[in-house]
Structure formats: C-alpha cells, structure tokens
Structure 1
Amino acid sequence: MNKIDIKSMTIEELEELLISFKQPKFRAKQIFDWLHVKKVLIFAEMSNLPKSLIEVLDESCTITNLSIKRKLVSQIDETTKYLFELPDSEFVESVVMKYKHGNSICISTQVGCKMGCAFCASTKAGFVRNLTPSEILEQIYAAGKDIGERISNVVLMGIGEPLDNYDNVIRFLNLLSNENGHNLSLRHVSLSTCGVVDKIYELARLKLGLTLSISLHAPNDQIRSQTMPINNRFNMDELLKACKEYANTTSRRISFEYALIRGVNDSEACANELASKLKGMLCHVNLIPVNEIKETDFKKTYPKNVVNFQQWLVKKGINTTIRRTLGADISAACGQLRRDNL
C-alpha cells in the first residue's frame, strides 16, 4: 500500500483524513503545526497526539524527508549548496545565499528538466519526474534546520521548470504561506519560468503576490529559438503579452533574467532591440554572465561588456541590474552538482 504524503496535505484535507480515522478534526491543526512549524520528521515526536492516532498515522502516512548527500560551503561568501537525496534515491539541488536582509534559498521543482535550454546544466541529464509539494517544501525546511536559521526568501529557480509542475507548485506556495505553518509571505517568493505562457495567465489570475521572473536571454525570436526551445511553442510576442497581463493584473513588477553570452546576445544592437521590446512595461532586467558548462561552447561576456550592456539599457530607460555572483568557488549554479553525481 502506498502511504499518504501527509506533508503535502492542506489543513482541510487533514481534517477529512482524521474523520476517516474516526478522530476529532481539531487534531488537523496540531499535526499541521508539527509538520510545518516544528518540522518534525517522525510521528512519535508529536507529543500532544494520543498514542493510538500516532500508530494509525505511522501505518498509513509518511513524512517526506530529504537527506543531505553533499554540502559545499563557499569560502568567499558563505553561500551553501546542497545536493539532496529524495525518498526514491533521485537527487535535486538547493542553494542558500546569505544577505543582510536575511537568508534566501534557490530551490528545485523537478528532477531534471525537459525544457532543453542550450546553456543550462539542469536539462543535460534529462527529465525524470516532478517534485511533490512536500519535496519542494522540505528543501527549505532541511536547509533551514542545517544552518540553524530561518529562510526568509525563496526563489524557484533551481532544477526544473516550475510552471511545468504547476499544480504541485501552487499547492507548495499555499502550504508555504499558510498562517498556521511556515507563514512566509509570497511577496518574499520569486518564481522563474522560461516562458510557459498559458500558465503565466493562470498564475496572474490567482494574484498570489509573488514576483514573476522570466528567463528571457534574447532580444528576438531568432536568437531565443536557437538557445531556448520553448520559444518555438510560445514566441516572444506571445510571452511579452502574457508578462504585460501579469504586471497589469497583479501590479507586480516583472523581472527579466538575461544571461549574457559572448558574441550571441551581448551587442549594443541586442540591447537596443531588447529595450524597444520592454519599453513601457512594469519590469526590470537582471543581467547574468552565462555559466560556462562543458557540453556547450558558450562563453561568458567580458566583464566590461556586462557593464556596457547595462548602460545601453539604462540609457533607453530600462531599469537594469547586474546579478551579484555568489558561491563562485563551489559552482553554485544549479544543475552542476546533480549532473556530476549521476
């Protein structure tokens, strides 16, 4: 018998489960508190539950637990990279970054990725499966427990495409922000997508308050289709239309991620074309020197040209930042640690 993934359940679902066990509904909030506030990993630690209920839970349910397979800590900036082993012996990565405003974690939503972006290490080993809501949550809980500090900001920008695992990601967000649980405001959450347009519209209608981050990486369809297969399904005009709708519906600024690849998308002409596409939108551009991986010939833009690209965009009225590089000595970019472990 497959056991019930209890950490993925809402309070309402827990109430129904308890009714089926002939137990009072009020126990649901107690169990939810143990799972998402105290973050216990065995039912026996739920000390305010009767022994008979603990026995039933132990027999019929499971508490998702991720074990740390590898852990790398940067000697430069204390960035910590985790390779987590899942219950079925698959692996995902998470990265904790320390800032003055608190701890931020970049988490994975799938084992592998099917999007096929040419410059991304996460997709090279192929797609295996979606993560469950509890497996997404547990990356935050396990990392927080390991560093002994609260995680105050979450970025869904690790392995996988969050909007390709839409239902589980939405459930994860609802569990993460539940006032009876971890209680993290979704204004402290950023979700990154390569451009799954139909799901962007669905996300906009939910008005969750999170920041939408778009992996754009090109100023036009010709360049984007060469590096990002999703562009053959949803072209840039369709994607940018959805982004405008998201910004207008939610009043939240869109963040466009732009990985600069030497000789591919880093010219002044590319900057000017990008600026013309984004003009008038509630957005900003985050420039990232591309991570070089052995499977491609893509090279980082020269540091001087990163600054030049920013200045070209700012001159055209586009708010632009250059992402601070963290964990450079531990290959903190997602996908590399898992790939090396296969």
Structure 2
Amino acid sequence: MQGSSSKPAVLVTGGAGYIGSHAVLALLDAGWPVVVIDNLTTGFRWAVPDAAAFVEGDVGDQALVGRLIAEHGIGAIMHFAGSIVVPESVAKPLEYYENNTVKSRALIAAAVAGGVRHFIFSSTAATYGIPERVPVAEEAPTVPINPYGWSKLMTERMLADAAAAHPLNYCALRYFNVAGADPEGRSGQSTAGATHLIKVAVEAATGKRGHVSVFGTDYATPDGTGIRDYIHVSDLAAAHLRALERLIAEPERSHTLNCGYGRGFSVMEVLDSVDRVTNRPIERRMEPRRAGDPDALVADNRRILGTLDWRPARADLDTIVADALAWERRLGERG
C-alpha cells in the first residue's frame, strides 16, 4: 500500500468526536483519503481537518450513507458514532439501542449494499460486564451489565453475521479507558460534563472544577480504589490504522481485539500522576462507590500485539496526563 493512490477512501462516522477525530488525524497523516459523517450532537466541526471531506448527517440515514459510499468510492468504514455514557444508557435504554444498535444495522446494510469490504467498529470493554478474571481476554464471557454494553455487543454480533453472509470483513476493537490528547495539540476530549477520570482531574487541575470525587475506597485493590487500564487516544487511533491494514491484507479474516496496555492504575495513582505533572495537589473527595463498578478492569492485550503490527508509543501514565492537561489548557484559551 505505497502512496495514497493505492489506499481506498475511508468513511469515518463520528469523526468530529473525541476518538473519531484522532483516527481522522492518523488516517490523514498516513495518506488515506477520508470522508467524515457526523451529526454534531456531541462532536465539533472544528475537530475535522480541512483535508477530510465533511458531511453533517446521521449514520442511520441509509440513503445518505449509500450516496457517500458511491460518490467517494468508499472502501472501508471506521464506525465511532454512538452514545457512550453508561448511567445514561440505564436511564434511557431505548435511545441507546436506537443510536448504537439500530443505526449501526442501517450503516452495515449500507456498507453491504455499496460493496464496502472492510469495517472497523468502536466497541468497548463494557461487553464483558464484570469479568471473573483480570486481565480479561477476548475469550472471556460477554455478559454486559448495562444497555450501553449490550448495544455494542449486538453490533458485534451483526457484524459477525454480516461477514459470514457477505464479502465483508471487520475488526471490533474493545476499548478499555481512553485518555490523553493528540501530542501535537490538534484534538482532544472537548465534551462538556465528561465523566472520564483523567478528563475530570485535568479540569480540576486547570481550575474548571473545585475537586475530584473518588467513588469508593473499599475495593479489593491495594489502595482500595478502582483499577483501570488507560490507553492513550493516539495509540488507539494508530491501532485502527493497523487494523485497517490487516483487514485489507487478509480479506477473509475478521478480528475482535482488546485495546489496552495490559497494565492498570488505581484512581489514587491517576490523581498522584496529575499532582506530579502539575506540581500541585488537587482536592480529592471520597464518595460512595457507584453501582456496577468492577474492582479492576485491565486488558489482556496479547491478541492485539500478536495480530496487528502495533506497539504502544505513549504507554506512560504521566505522558497521558501531560497530553490531556496540555489540551485542557488549550481549550481554556479557546474560551
């Protein structure tokens, strides 16, 4: 695949959002033609570079997606569009099944009808529910404990069935905890009211919040706080590129892969990192634990390391925090 002329155009759904915009940057940096579709409900138009074609629209609009596939000669789809807030999925389950499952079905149908051969899906470790063993491997039982996890698992199932029936292969990437920002400062997590720990912590470090809540200090972990596997968003974006290359090289094979570093950090360790990077402590407030939060959620990442030509480049907690902090400061300058 030398030169952009041999690279098929990639349709990126949700490409104006946090993870999608980083994938767009990675694709463009590597010379891939990119078309972004995003309805801008949570994404930002400024997050899509001028080098990518942009269409404001809904991934559930089969006629629109079909038109884009035909007009741009789309050869692959990276599907990031969807709703991602777990408690909201419990309160509004039907909205999540509509947004994440029904619209994904429409997108897959448009892909099959338009002859798209390769599909990369933004899935989640929430498909595992509360795993019996940690680190959790791809073979672990998939027993989600909330509609968000189920909505993503249903899409994985549809992809598997569609790939068995049609000339389509796919890679479902199950994300663990995504954090950080583009090291060049081109994009980062910009959504107001974000719930991710590192985002919340750097907001506190820049004065946008007065404190950070620590939900539960009685977990079965060394310091009593929950342990999670944090992956830098730029490493995650790179994994999508490597997955695309693998799908093109082996069109008969599909993959389901964990995206994580295989190393977890507790809430307290993350906050210690923020204190180190900023050189000043942020206030921590102890709160009751939240229902359904596992003690630890860490990826067994041996399969992705063995399947893709991918190695993490920013797998250092202080690096992740520093990049997130730099972006948070840039957001403050944006107003």
Instruction: Please give the range of the TM-score, normalised by the shorter of the 2 chains.
Output: 0.3 to 0.5
TM-score normalised to structure 1 length = 0.34
Give the greater-gyration-radius structure (CA): 1
